[in-house]
Amino acid sequence: MLTTSLDISSNYNIDPDNVQTLGRYQIICQLGQGATGIVYLVWDPFIRRNVALKVAKTETDKFRENFLAEAQSAGRLSHPNIVAVYDAGSEDDFCYIAMEYIKGATLENFCRKENLLPPNKGLEVILEVCKGLEYAHREGVIHRDIKPSNILLNLDGSAKITDFGVAQMTDRTFTTSIRGTPHYLSPEQVKDEIVSFQSDIFALGCVLYEILAGEKAFPGENSYGVLYKITSTEPRSILSIRSDLPKVLDEIVRKAIRKDPSERYQSCVEMAADLDVALRGILASPRNLEKSKEVADYFQNLSFFADFKKEQLSELTALANIVKFPGGKVVASEGEIDDTFYIILSGQVKVRKGEKDIATIGTGECFGEMAFLGGQPRVANVAAEGDCVLMKITASLLQKLPDSVGLLFFRSFARTLVQRLSKNLEERN
């Protein structure tokens, strides 16, 4: 029970100096306030640690019923990228949810142009949010209120989604009132149509836009202006705001915030796959090596290119991406689906399946051939063992090569496969 009577005003603030406890929770201070409630830092004597307590005024019996039902749904979720829900209940005119307390800041702190995260860090945060949302969606839970202030950044840099459940019970019909400025609502939410997992993806696309561009995808002077833009206009390209960003990020954002849910990413896994490709491109810092005679001479000394003439090798290097990876950096991950094939120009990589190292591949050799040929998930992790330089080959690149060069490539490719199979057979015997 509330041990001290509360002033049920529009703000319904609890003064920690006058109110010491709420149920079993000992109030320490207020952490923040949103449209659906106030969050307090409290001490839970049962589990003997600080927790975050979100308190909302119970406006109707239906509100209370929905609040508790959705809090129970949120309580089922257990994932590293979702704030844990410990308890939920109601006392007098209040409902509350006790949640994991995260020391750190919200992503909202990094949405201003003067304080943006580096692009790679921003993508890492959104990838973690994708992981948490994908798990929730598999459990049948839609967040409905993804926004920067509901994404917490822990002191270790990890991201956690909060306000599951509380968001779902909020009235979103907008027929009589609008709670806050709804910059992250999907068109179907604005129109009071069926909400799906793609609604969360739309919101996440808006968040991605904001942390990259430093401004909202759908700005407006008031809520109704924002709603109009969400349903009827397209945002500025992030490339017109930040020309230093790769084009692929603009494409990812635009796909995530399509008006028609069927045209968006159909799952967070699908969105994460594109984000992962973009992130690897940023971190690997791909750059073309000088297409000089000396470079061609060097490549020609590698076993994979033994049959190439210098002119043919120059044609290949003119189109291929040459990428550099620092030691320990993962090049390919087990389970990912990718048609990329790599040739090691310098250094070596370690192949690891589960917890076991299964091979070391060195200069002049290649890897990724099975994923390249069949489009199957990769069966092992591959990481750079010391700094290495790789030639990155894709199916689309091969289609651009002259027939004579493509034929040479596949001849070397087949020779490498035969040698690898023969070696495996010898080791088994």
Q: Which residues are catalytic?
A: 145
Strand pairing report for 321-325 and 388-393: antiparallel
For the sheet with 21-22, list strands across it: 21-22, 25-34, 37-44, 49-57, 94-100, 85-91
Distance CA(167)–CA(215), nearest Å, equals 23
Dihedral of the alpha carbons of 41, 44, 50, 51, in degrees to the nearest 10: -60
Three-state secondary structure call for residue 389: strand
φ and ψ at 79, to 5 degrees?
-155, 145
Could you tell me if residue 57 is left (phi over 0), alpha (psi between -120 and 50 degrees) or otherwise beta? Answer: beta
Residue 400's CB: how many other CB atoms inside 10 A? 12
Closest among 173, 164, 160 to 144, alpha carbons compared: 164
Closest among 7, 11, 9 to 19, alpha carbons compared: 7
**C-alpha R_g of the chain:** 27
Whole-Å CA distances, 130 to 200, 203, 353, 390: 10, 12, 25, 29
392 is written with which tokens?
């990155």
Distance CA(342)–CA(321), nearest Å, equals 10
Distance CA(427)–CA(429), nearest Å, equals 5
